[in-house]
Chains A and B, each alone.
Chain A
Amino acid sequence: MPSGTREYLLKRVVISCLMIPAIIVFTFLLLRLAPGDPAVMMAGEGATPDFVEMIRKVYGLDKPLYEQLAIYMSKLLTGDFGYSFTFKRPVLEVILDRVPTTILLAGTGALIAIAFGVLLGVVAAIKKDSFTDSAISSLTLILYSIPIFALAQFLVLFLVIQYRLFPLSGYVSLGVSPSDPLKFTLDVLWHLVLPASSLALIQMATYVKLTRTSMIEALYSNYIIAARARGLNSRRILLRHALKNALLPIVTMAGIQLGLIIGGVVITETIFSWPGVGRLTIEAIDARDFPLLLGIFIFTSVSVVVANIVTDIVYTYIDPRVKLR
């Protein structure tokens, strides 16, 4: 690592880590702004009066505000996210159970989006101003404008209802168990196709646009012209020189998208009954399970902060130009 990079990264990581207590304070204040008794809210609607009183004691809700904040903060920082009365389990456990399925869905969606987005972006850049280019641009602009809850339903209408190619919902068929790994994997993948494609399609436009722009910039830059002049073959120029540089912004974009697609994940998981954190959010809302909802909010916020740190680190490694800013 070049000198200075380590300090830069360290600074970024420290700033990002400070975000976590900030998120907790913010959540706390937001809860206090809400109308009604915070104890009732923290216990969840439908909780018994005894339970509400217990929550009031445990969280010190009869004490001054700063003491309440201290109690709340210390609980969260030690991993105590409270108790979900709908699942009759600690909130953190309930959330962690759902994380792998969400990562599977969101990760697959992002990979498909990046793969096809970069491919289409490169094609559009090479054939700049041709019919292919404007067809790709129009297609991505329309995809960018369709809400995911419309797009996903069209996929359901044609591929599930009309042609019965894919299963309706869930992430594995009834009666298929992990004890038969091959069958289980194939079944999960089969269930994954539609939700992951929906997520991919709405994100793809961003990658197409980004790749096209940076490829065009790269293709007309001096080092590419120099490479051409040296007589290197054009496929080699395209892949080794232009694409390699054009891909850098993709990494940054992937990090930014992560925070943005969480809304898409909530909606996709709802439409396809995919048992992940997004679906859990809606279950928590329907049951008015506030401790769970709060837990999900803090958990996703912290995950995004952590993911941004990772993006920063990855970026510093792959782009040697990044130094102390």
Chain B
Amino acid sequence: MKTRSFIKGFDLKSKMKTSRPLAISTILLSIILFLAITTGLLTDREPLKTGYAPGLTAPTSEFPMGTDQLGRDVFTWTLYGIRTALVVSVVSTSLTVIIAVLVGLPAGYFGGKLDQVLMRITDFFLSIPRFILIIFAVIIFSPTLANIIMILSVFSWPSLARIVRAEVLSVKEREYVQAAKVIGSNSFDIMFSEVLPNVVPPMLVASALQMSDAILAEAGLSFLGLGDPNTASWGRMLSIARQAIYAGGWWTLLFPSVFITATVLAINLLADGLNDILNPKSVR
């Protein structure tokens, strides 16, 4: 069977054999995605509904992961948590990447005054403690899932924009870009059809790390009680666990922890694997 490679010139299948992180990550991500898709078949309970059990209940055949103090089903909430995590990470990272490209691409391509202004703004955002800024913004605007995703993206683009700019600086001196200039293509075309595609590979690693970062940030907000109260977030489960573990409810801590760690780990391994493929010379 031939594997279609997503980057020209790379045989994905043979790379999978050589990059162990990528192999493990693929397995983990497949399981996670499978569970996210089949959540509705695996449980017919609602994630945030209370009263399925009289109180804190240890795992049984009826409640495979037990229930919390208010009788919410840990299994159902944990599974729905995958969807929340995936939506948060995919949507916010896409927005982050778009902003980063819109800032980094013209900054690197045109240089000069524009570059200086854009990079000063980038440095400014890079130097403020991000989590406090996010907390502050979530308090000011109401904590709906959409707002949280927006806020995460708006404050996460700077490091990615720097990567884009640095790549553009090196790509724009290459012959094919110079050639496009000579034949009189306009800057917009050159930027998006000649420069941008070549900036994509180095951005992949950073984007993957951005995804795991977004999951942790959303869960962190929810843990502090600043998340969307109508969303099934692992962060809020873990804040519920704070009281439950004193009553012996270790399952309220264990299961969401395992899922969030596995998801973040899978994405971090993906970043490692991509790095192995894209920078074969880097120290391993």
Q: Are A and B associated in one complex?
A: yes
Query: CB within 8 Å of B: which residues of A?
Result: 16, 19, 22-23, 26, 30-31, 33-35, 41, 141-142, 144-147, 149-150, 153-154, 156-157, 161, 213, 216-217, 259-260, 262-263, 266-267, 270-271, 281-282, 285, 293-294, 296-297, 300-301, 304-305, 308
Answer whether residue B130 sits at the interface, using C-beta atoms and an 8 A cutoff.
yes
| Inter-subunit contact A146/B257 (CB<8 Å) | yes
| Inter-subunit contact B241/A153 (CB<8 Å) | yes
What are some 10 contacts across the A-B interface (CB < 8 A)? A147-B257, A147-B260, A149-B238, A149-B239, A150-B238, A157-B250, A161-B245, A259-B127, A285-B139, A293-B139
Classify the interface of chain A: helix, strand, loop or mixed: helix
Contacts of A156 in B (CB 8 A): 245
Residue of B nearest to A282 (CB): B224
Contacts of B140 in A (CB 8 A): 30-31, 33-34, 41
- Taking a contact as CB atoms closer than 8 A, the residue among B124, B223, B250 that contacts A149 in the complex is B223
Answer whether residue B87 sits at the interface, using C-beta atoms and an 8 A cutoff.
no
State A266–B138 Cα separation when bound (angstroms).
Answer: 15
Given A147-B238, A149-B239, A300-B129, list of 16 further CB < 8 A pairs?
A31-B140, A146-B261, A147-B219, A147-B257, A147-B261, A150-B261, A157-B245, A157-B250, A262-B132, A263-B131, A266-B132, A281-B132, A293-B139, A301-B127, A301-B132, A301-B133
- Taking a contact as CB atoms closer than 8 A, the residue among A150, A213, A297 that contacts B257 in the complex is A150
State A27–B267 Cα separation when bound (angstroms).
Answer: 33
State A301–B129 Cα separation when bound (angstroms).
Answer: 6
Contacts of B245 in A (CB 8 A): 153, 156-157, 161
Classify the interface of chain B: helix, strand, loop or mixed: helix
| Inter-subunit contact B128/A301 (CB<8 Å) | yes
With A145-B261, A153-B241, A161-B246 as contacts: A217 and B124 at CB distance below 8 Å: no
Query: CB within 8 Å of A: which residues of B?
Result: 124, 127-133, 135-137, 139-141, 212, 216-217, 219-220, 223-224, 226, 235, 238-239, 241-242, 245-246, 250, 253, 256-257, 260-261, 264-265, 268-269, 272, 283
| Inter-subunit contact B129/A259 (CB<8 Å) | yes
State A149–B245 Cα separation when bound (angstroms).
Answer: 13
- CB of A54 to closest CB in B, whole Å: 22
| Inter-subunit contact B220/A267 (CB<8 Å) | yes
| Inter-subunit contact B242/A153 (CB<8 Å) | yes
State A216–B241 Cα separation when bound (angstroms).
Answer: 42
With A145-B264, A150-B253 as contacts: A285 and B129 at CB distance below 8 Å: no
Contacts of A145 in B (CB 8 A): 212, 261, 264-265, 268
Shortest beta-carbon contacts, A-B, top 7:
A263-B131, A150-B257, A145-B265, A34-B140, A262-B129, A145-B264, A149-B223
With A213-B283, A304-B128, A305-B127 as contacts: A147 and B220 at CB distance below 8 Å: yes
- Taking a contact as CB atoms closer than 8 A, the residue among A154, A266, A301, A304 that contacts B224 in the complex is A266
Contacts of B256 in A (CB 8 A): 150
Residue of A nearest to B235 (CB): A149
Residue of A nearest to B226 (CB): A285
- CB of A154 to closest CB in B, whole Å: 7
State A30–B139 Cα separation when bound (angstroms).
Answer: 11
- CB of B280 to closest CB in A, whole Å: 15
| Inter-subunit contact A267/B224 (CB<8 Å) | yes
- CB of B271 to closest CB in A, whole Å: 11
With A146-B261, A263-B132, A266-B132 as contacts: A141 and B242 at CB distance below 8 Å: no
Residue of A nearest to B267 (CB): A145
- CB of B123 to closest CB in A, whole Å: 8
Contacts of B265 in A (CB 8 A): 141-142, 145
| Inter-subunit contact B216/A147 (CB<8 Å) | yes
Contacts of B269 in A (CB 8 A): 141
Contacts of A149 in B (CB 8 A): 219-220, 223, 235, 238-239
| Inter-subunit contact A308/B136 (CB<8 Å) | no
State A267–B265 Cα separation when bound (angstroms).
Answer: 20
| Inter-subunit contact A30/B131 (CB<8 Å) | no
| Inter-subunit contact A300/B212 (CB<8 Å) | no
- CB of B147 to closest CB in A, whole Å: 11
Residue of A nearest to B260 (CB): A147
Residue of B nearest to A144 (CB): B268
Contacts of B133 in A (CB 8 A): 297, 301
With A266-B135, A305-B127 as contacts: A153 and B224 at CB distance below 8 Å: no
State A34–B147 Cα separation when bound (angstroms).
Answer: 13
Contacts of B216 in A (CB 8 A): 147
With A30-B140, A142-B261 as contacts: A296 and B132 at CB distance below 8 Å: yes
State A144–B226 Cα separation when bound (angstroms).
Answer: 23
Contacts of A304 in B (CB 8 A): 127-129
Contacts of A300 in B (CB 8 A): 129, 132
Contacts of B257 in A (CB 8 A): 146-147, 150, 153-154
| Inter-subunit contact B135/A281 (CB<8 Å) | yes
State A293–B138 Cα separation when bound (angstroms).
Answer: 12
- CB of B63 to closest CB in A, whole Å: 20
- CB of A202 to closest CB in B, whole Å: 10
State A154–B68 Cα separation when bound (angstroms).
Answer: 17
| Inter-subunit contact A271/B242 (CB<8 Å) | yes
Contacts of B253 in A (CB 8 A): 150, 153-154, 157
Residue of B nearest to A214 (CB): B283
State A146–B256 Cα separation when bound (angstroms).
Answer: 11
Contacts of B223 in A (CB 8 A): 147, 149, 267
Contacts of A263 in B (CB 8 A): 129-132, 217, 220
Contacts of A26 in B (CB 8 A): 124, 128
